Amino acid sequence: MKIADPLGGPGAPLDTWEELKARLNDEDIRGARLVMITDRQGDRSHAGYGVLITLRRGDAEEAVVTASAFGPRYGENGVQAMTELITWAHHNELILRETVLPSSDFTRFLAEPDEREVRELLAASNPADPGLYVPLPGRDSDDWVRQ
């Protein structure tokens, strides 16, 4: 498995999202896996997320990882970037999953993932519904974050 250098910067949601879009712009990503990675369980209103996307290249697989930059932990821009990411993933038919890591593993994994860790993280991840990450219709992001 080829693992690309992590994209983006911790706490820089819009820049990280732009880097991720640019990296995957020309890829055929249908059926790829998108794993939302966090270090907070049961506290979505304060969670921050990094992202792991796995892509197939014939018989080979590639992993793309971002810094922790998505979600309410990073304010309005974090919510906006996460909403755009999830909407984009749904539109492009990515398989959405989620996993929770201890804080120390979370930070280390997003900075320097290795193949064994990527495979273990994929195996431990759970299916996720896009509605967990985006504001409901008719509610603004402030209402959603307070849920």
| Domains identified in the chain and CATH numbers | 2-145 (3.40.1530.10)
Q: What was the pLDDT predicted at 101?
A: 94
pTM, two decimal places: 0.88
What is the band of 142 on the pLDDT scale with cuts at 50, 70, 90?
Answer: low
Residue 78 in contact with residue 17, Cβ under 8 Å? Answer: no
- Reported as a single tens digit per residue, the pLDDT across 58-109 is 888 899 999 999 999 999 999 999 999 999 999 999 999 999 999 989 999 9
- Reported as a single tens digit per residue, the pLDDT across 8-39 is 999 999 999 999 999 998 777 888 999 999 99
